[in-house]
Amino acid sequence: MSEKVFKQITVTGCSSESYEKAIEAAVEKASESLRGLSWFQVTEFRGGIRADGGIEYQATLNVAFKVD
């Protein structure tokens, strides 16, 4: 059978360095508990401002994995 089915979950990664690092953090953490990750789609970029004036980059993404 060549049909495939995927399930998506939403995760948000955070980084003090960049949006790219926030995406990498989200995918890395999701891969610790989910197997068969296939793709991701960024749905939102936003940021937080810390009390010390620093910036926190936040990237929300849908991560998909194949359903066996």
pLDDT, tens only, 1-40: 688 899 999 999 999 999 999 999 999 999 999 988 999 9
The domain segmentation of the chain, as residue ranges, is 6-66
Q: Which pTM does this prediction carry?
A: 0.87
Compute the average pLDDT of residues 47-67: 95
Q: Which CATH superfamily, name and number, covers 6-66?
A: Flavin-binding protein dodecin (3.30.1660.10)
Residue position matching structure tokens 């990498």: 24
CA 36 to the chain's CA centroid: 15
Helix (H) or strand (E) holding 49: strand 37-49
CA distance 26 to 20: 10
